[in-house]
Amino acid sequence: MRRKLIAGNWKMHGNLVDNEALLHGILAGMGDVKAGVAVSVPFPYLAQVKAKLAGSRIAWGAQNVSQHAKGAYTGEISAAMLNDFECKYVIVGHSERRAVYGESDQLVAEKYAAAQTAGLVPILCVGETLEERESGVTEAVVARQIDAVLAKSGVISLANAVIAYEPVWAIGTGRTASPEQAQAVHAFIRGKIRGLDADVANNLVIQYGGSVKGANAAELFVQPDIDGGLIGGASLSAEEFLAICRAG
Ligand code: PEP
């Protein structure tokens, strides 16, 4: 039985004062949460979340990582640096990184490998644009994104990773995939992995992301192949994030 994982993605939001209140609010409401919980925060706040969350049931992580271990890469952050802040997770291949910063499937696969080499658990984001969905290539797009990782790191690497299915048209739009739409893609992903390694597939946590809120979380999380969520906007409100966590 897979445990649900709810991960907040703060994106480029927050400041020291607001984060303190948000973390305090989330911690105060964790009593009746059964799911695993994590927050992915901007790099400058990793020290703050480490100090605040150490010893709690909430894990933390970053939203991006360099594919390089070290060197002359001005402005980049290595996986080893994330380890200094005791990150457990790092998001790789978020659709905003792919679309805004031109990250290719191959680059995402390199970041995924760099994260795992350092002992971090990558949260690999995959998902199709609206145009791709309407052209009927959703499965082909998701398969291509996952294949890049499989080619570089092998199926066994997914024993220490999370996949987040995030349809691009649902991220930050208020337009959530229906539970049936999401479940269909999640089942496709798990089936694809099952064809390579049944144990890895059965244990693989596949999150859904895209306008999840307290009001729609339960109907998504009850689907057999949806193992929690990657939560953007709603993770910036303790009350809303906790409502989602309680649905997990
Ligand atoms: C995300 O940032 O990965 C995300 C799913 O955002 P939102 O929940 O705001 O759609």
Which residue has the least CA distance to atom 6 on ligand 1? Answer: 232
What's the confidence (pLDDT) of residue 59? 98
What's the confidence (pLDDT) of residue 122? 98
Structural domain including 130 reads 5-247
Type of residue found at 33: V
Residue in 211, 221, 235, 237 to alter for ligand 1 test, most ligand atoms within 8 A of Cβ: 211
What's the confidence (pLDDT) of residue 1? 76
Residues with pLDDT less than 70, the chain: none
Residue with tokens 């679309």: 99
**Model-wide pTM > 0.95:** yes
Between the CA of 215 and the centroid of ligand 1 the distance, in Å, is 15
Which residue has the least CA distance to atom 4 on ligand 1? Answer: 232
Residues with a catalytic annotation lie at 94, 166
What's the confidence (pLDDT) of residue 112? 99
What's the confidence (pLDDT) of residue 161? 98
| Three-state secondary structure call for residue 74 | coil
Number of structural domains in the chain: 1
Q: Is 229 in the pocket of ligand 1 (CB under 6 A)?
A: no
Q: Is 7 in the pocket of ligand 1 (CB under 6 A)?
A: no
Q: Is 231 in the pocket of ligand 1 (CB under 6 A)?
A: yes
Q: For residue range 62-92, what is the model confidence (pLDDT) as tens digits?
A: 999 999 999 999 999 999 999 999 999 999 9
Q: Is 233 in the pocket of ligand 1 (CB under 6 A)?
A: yes
What's the confidence (pLDDT) of residue 12? 98
When the pLDDT of each residue in the chain is averaged and rounded to a whole number, the result is 98
CATH number at residue 60: 3.20.20.70
What's the confidence (pLDDT) of residue 116? 98
What's the confidence (pLDDT) of residue 156? 98
